[in-house]
Amino acid sequence: MINKKFTYLLVFPMNKITIFLTVNFLGLFCYAQGEINSIIAPGRQNRVITSSQKESAKPETRDTSIHIPDVKYYVEPTQHPVSFDVEPIQPARLNVVEPLEKLYPGYVKFGVGNYIMPYLDAYYGSLRSKKNSWGVNLKHHSALGQINNVGSSQFSENYLDGFYKHFLKNHTIQTNLYYHRDVINYYGFDLNDSLIPQTYRETQDSIKQGYNWVGMKTLLTSNYKDSSKLHHQVGLSYYFLNNFDQLQEHNVVANTTLSKYLEKENIEANVDFELDFNSLNQPTLSQIDTVGTVLPSEGNGITNSAILRLTPYVVNNKILNKLHFRGGFGINIDMAEVNKFYFYPDVELSYDLFNSVFIPYAGANGGVQRNSWNNLRLENPFLLSNTLTRNTNEKINVYGGIRGSISNALSFNMNFRYQSYSDKALFYNDTAFSYQNAFSIIYDNVNVTTISGQIGYQKSEKFMLYAKGAYYVNKAENQEFAWLMPNFDFSINATYDLADKIIARASHLCVGNRKAFMRSGLVDGTMNIENHTLI
């Protein structure tokens, strides 16, 4: 059964108006083929289509966020009973370190060694001040004991030093005044030797020697914060020395150092100037022969000399941030009886490897060394007062090595050095003016090769250990040996601080074999020389 639809169109023309009548007949028919029949009635029509206009619509943004109101919770207060027991505890210890450690105005050190050797060191000075600083230091060291059968071996060393430092806006002025009095005895002869006059053996004043050393130093140093300015340091020093033999020495040193940074502080230019004047008046001593007969002898009289030193150089510490370079030269003029002009290199190069773990370095320099009487007697206090003085020329000093820090506590330095000297002072036992208990000097050309090493260990501020050793190869040009110059030396020093209350220090020094000789007198018109090895 299929729904069928019959449509009949009836058209009636009425003045341009066409009326369509549609008659639908619905019915139920049986249709075997499923076809739809239709009837179309033609007619006239006038169709009018009205104009249309598109309605414009803009897109609108819809806010999809959803406002969630704040949720407020209300907690009903409930009190719970709590019980506890109070137990006493130890108060905490606080080690409060002040920004600046407390200073003390002075200290006193006192000790006694073997051979009844008292030691005193006392200091008193000012505390912190932005205007000035001053201090006074007193030291005493002596030996009251005796060594048997060699004469009196007593000695004393006394030291008094005072300084004053004044701080200006851009400069600092410092002045030092000092006085030293040292007394020794020419011991070391055979007290039972009948060839030595009895009065000499029994009278202590005949072998006593004493020195008075008084002097001053003044230094003016610039403190500019601006590195582009010309930094400078100007110094002036003077001392007077005399002894029991009426020896007198005056020494005046004037020096100036100028430095300035160039090229954005990468290069520092420096000039060092120094004038060293020395006047020595030596006494007349009596010469003795092998049987103790006093012979007349002329002293050396007055000797005046001056040394002029000029050293311009540049320093660069920022080449690749690892390379340090110093380059320059030195001009020295030794003005004595004959003026001598010398020219020396002044260079040093080092390179920083592995953040200062290893720093290899090498350099070369030289210079004229002042052999004043004061310098010589500090090195060997048993010199005869008529010993000839002459300056030493260090012709070349070539060195190289490696230094660094293996860890925060361990550091090291290994070094090789070659030095060539002319007029090097060599000490020997004199028998012309003493009984083998005093020294004089022979000057010779000497070459010294040194292999040395240093190692340091520091564990915080409590414990420090430092050791140094060197091996020397000394070769003299005209002498058989470089007299009294050792073939090695070794030293070790340790310091331990116990709770900032007790400080313990220990040191040990070992010096190797030295060759020595003495003139024992005339044999067949020639000087007889005896060679000895000192251990």
Domain ranges within the chain, ordered by starting residue: 1-46, 224-534
pLDDT band at 18; cut points 50, 70, 90: very low
Least confident of 170-174, 259-263, 452-456, 483-487: 259-263
CA distances in angstroms from 188 to 146, 197, 429, listed in the order given: 11, 15, 11
Average pLDDT over residues 315-323: 75
Mean pLDDT to the nearest integer, 183-192: 90
Q: What mean pLDDT do residues 96-121 have?
A: 83
The mean per-residue pLDDT over the stretch 242-251 comes to 94
Mean pLDDT for the stretch of residues 452-471: 90
Grade residue 27 by pLDDT with cuts at 50, 70 and 90: very low
In the block, tokens 């010294």 appear at: 448
pLDDT, residue 477, reads 93
Backbone angles phi, psi at 201, to 5 degrees: -75, -30
In the predicted structure, residue 78 carries a pLDDT above the cut 70: yes
Residue that wins the pLDDT comparison between 425 and 27: 425
Who contacts 465 (Cβ-Cβ below 8 Å, separation ≥6)? 456, 457, 458, 492, 493, 494, 495
The alpha carbon of residue 374 and the mean position of all alpha carbons in its chain are separated, in whole angstroms, by 28
Measured distance CA(306)–CA(332) in Å, rounded: 10
- Mean pLDDT confidence for 273-278: 96
Which is higher by pLDDT, 526 or 447? 447
Q: How confident is the model at residue 342, as a pLDDT?
A: 95
Q: Exposure of 94 by Cβ count < 10 A (0-12 exposed, 13-18 middle, 19+ buried)?
A: exposed
What pLDDT is stored for residue 40 in this prediction?
Answer: 62
Q: What band does 518 get if pLDDT is binned at 50, 70 and 90?
A: low
Confidence at residue 11, expressed as pLDDT on a 0 to 100 scale: 47
Q: What are phi and psi of 349, to 5 degrees?
A: -135, 130
- pLDDT higher than 70, residue 396: yes
What pLDDT, on a 0 to 100 scale, did the predictor assign at position 39?
Answer: 59
Bridge partners of 360, per DSSP, are: 402
Question: Considering the domain 224-534, what is its CATH architecture?
Answer: Beta Barrel (2.40)
Phi and psi at 129, nearest 5°, equal: -155, 145
**Token duo for residue 231:** 């930094």
Banded model confidence at residue 265, pLDDT cuts 50, 70, 90: low
pLDDT at 530: 52
Statement: residue 430 has pLDDT above 60: yes
Q: Among 116-125, 208-217, 309-318, 437-446, name the one with the lowest average pLDDT.
A: 309-318
More reliable by pLDDT, 30 or 122: 122
Lowest-confidence region among 29-33, 140-144, 509-513, 521-525: 521-525
Check whether 298 has a pLDDT greater than 50: no
Cβ-Cβ contacts under 8 Å for 166 (sequence gap 6 or more): 131, 132, 172, 173, 174
Predicted structure pTM score: 0.75
What is residue 491's predicted lDDT score, i.e. its pLDDT? 95
Min mean pLDDT across 165-169, 313-317, 347-351, 448-452 is at: 313-317
Residue 33 has pLDDT above 50, yes or no: no
What pLDDT is recorded for position 16? 45
Mean pLDDT for the chain overall:
83
- Across residues 327-356, what is the average pLDDT? 91
Task: Tell me what the mean pLDDT of segment 13-24 comes to.
Answer: 46
Does pLDDT of 93 surpass 80? no
**pLDDT tier, 102 (very low <50, low <70, confident <90, very high otherwise):** confident
**pLDDT beyond 80 at 374:** yes
Say whether pLDDT at 70 is over 90. no
Average pLDDT value for residue range 465-473: 95
Q: What single string gives the DSSP state of each residue in 61-103? A: ------PPPPP---PPP------------PPPP--PPPSSPPP
Q: How confident is the model at residue 503 (pLDDT cuts 50, 70, 90)?
A: confident
With cut-offs at 50, 70 and 90, classify the pLDDT of residue 392: very high
- Please report which confidence band the pLDDT of residue 535 belongs to, taking 50, 70 and 90 as the band edges: very low
Q: How far apart are CA 148 and CA 188, in angstroms?
A: 10
pLDDT higher than 60, residue 363: yes
* Long-range contact set of residues 334-337: C-beta below 8 Å, sequence gap at least 24: 334/305, 334/307, 334/368, 334/391, 334/393, 335/305, 335/306, 335/307, 335/308, 336/303, 336/304, 336/305, 336/306, 336/391
Report the pLDDT averaged over residues 133-154. 91
**What average pLDDT does this structure show over 387-409?**
92
Q: Average pLDDT of 458-467?
A: 86
pLDDT of residue 288: 64
Mean pLDDT of 128-143: 94
237 vs 254: CA distance, rounded Å: 7
